[in-house]
Structure 1
Amino acid sequence: MKNVNVRKLALAGILVAVGLICSPFSIPVGASRCAPIQHFINILCGVFLGPSYGVGTAFVTSLLRNIMGTGTLLAFPGSMCGAFLCGILYKYSKKLPLAYAGELFGTSVIGGILSYPIAVLMMGQESAVFGFVFPFFVSSCGGTILAIFLVTAMKKMKVFDVYLGNLDEPQNGLSHSHR
């Protein structure tokens, strides 16, 4: 059990690093910077690691992007809400389309609305309550389209299931009770 948690933590760290490396690939839209790779990473985390790792990875990536100057404060609500909703919907349904819809809705609608007070109160930006919904939707759409192809292929090939030890059959000749 501990080995799986270490593997999950290591994979989350790798995904944070990928998010940071790819953070210059962003599209400025108003006060926000749309980062489609972050949304792809949110879906990877939500599907393969679960909602708590998804939120943690989104938080750490957003924090480090802000420290490096490649992100804004608006990265927090958008990425974290998307990762959470994606992870929760996948955890309880095991359906990839719901995970994708969770990322889109969580980032654009919930994250977009939660960004309003941050933009107005903390960043001094003038904005409408729903002013971030469309830019966040565009950003998460790009990452979701990427995820639809890659996550679907990874699930079929059991890429992370093997890495994380989530296969139902025993590994290395050991039964479940002896792992």
Structure 2
Amino acid sequence: MLKTKKLTLAGIFIAMGVILSTVIVIPVGIAKCAPVQHLINVLSAVILGPFYGVAIAFLTSTIRVLIGTGTFLAFPGSMCGALLAGILYKYNKKITMASIGEIFGTGVIGALIAYPVAKFILSKEAALWGFVVPFSVSSIGGTLIAILFLIALKKTGVLDKVSNEGN
């Protein structure tokens, strides 16, 4: 895939993440869980790879924080999930591996990294494991939607075409 096409698709994913995350938000404590971000993480990890996935997660989180629709807790969850999903897919080429990477990366790793973010940056008290359940629920919801999209893309041959061009 040409770099221009990758950047264009990344821009579309960022726009979708910002806009749709304002529509579907699940408030859980001080976290604003956005399953759309996890959908975008899995799609970008599979189609564009780990680098683009992390960049898309970072830029989407940044814009959401700047416009007031997200919190700093979006950074560790979305970026860890996108990275692990991208790495697992890159080396296994299986949608299930990207999905597992997103759920574990966000739900466990990102949730644990969110603890110091909440405590020291947001000055909020939180239990060390307090973000695991809300981050996991959000991640599972978005990942299930992504799996449906990717299965449809695979059945139509679009996924293979895009993935082969990109790798």
**TM-score over 0.5 for the pair:** yes
The 2-side partners of 1:6 and 1:161 are apart by: 19
Instruction: Describe how 1:92-103 pairs up with structure 2 within 5 A.
Output: 92-103=91-102
- The aligned counterpart of 1:11 is 9
Between 64-73 and 149-158, report the one with greater CA deviation.
149-158
Secondary structure at 1:66 match in 2: helix
Deviation at 1:159, TM superposition (A): 2.4
Deviation at 1:148, TM superposition (A): 1.3
1:54 matched to 2:47 = no
> Residues 23 and 35 of structure 1 are in contact (CA less than 8 Å); yes or no, is this contact kept in structure 2?
yes
Structure 1 residues 167 and 45 mapped into 2: Cα distance closer, same or farther (>3 Å)? closer
Q: Quick one: percent identity of the two aligned structures? A: 54
Larger radius of gyration: 1
Secondary structure at 2:32 match in 1: strand
Root mean square deviation of aligned Cα: 1.7
Structure 1 residues 64 and 74 mapped into 2: Cα distance closer, same or farther (>3 Å)? same
The 1-side partners of 2:78 and 2:120 are apart by: 20
Q: Which ranges in structure 2 are unaligned for 5 or more consecutive residues?
A: none
- The aligned counterpart of 1:150 is 149
- The aligned counterpart of 2:85 is 86
Greater per-residue helix proportion: 2
- The aligned counterpart of 1:22 is 20
Deviation at 1:158, TM superposition (A): 3.0
Q: Which ranges in structure 1 are unaligned for 5 or more consecutive residues?
A: 169-179
The 2-side partners of 1:130 and 1:167 are apart by: 37
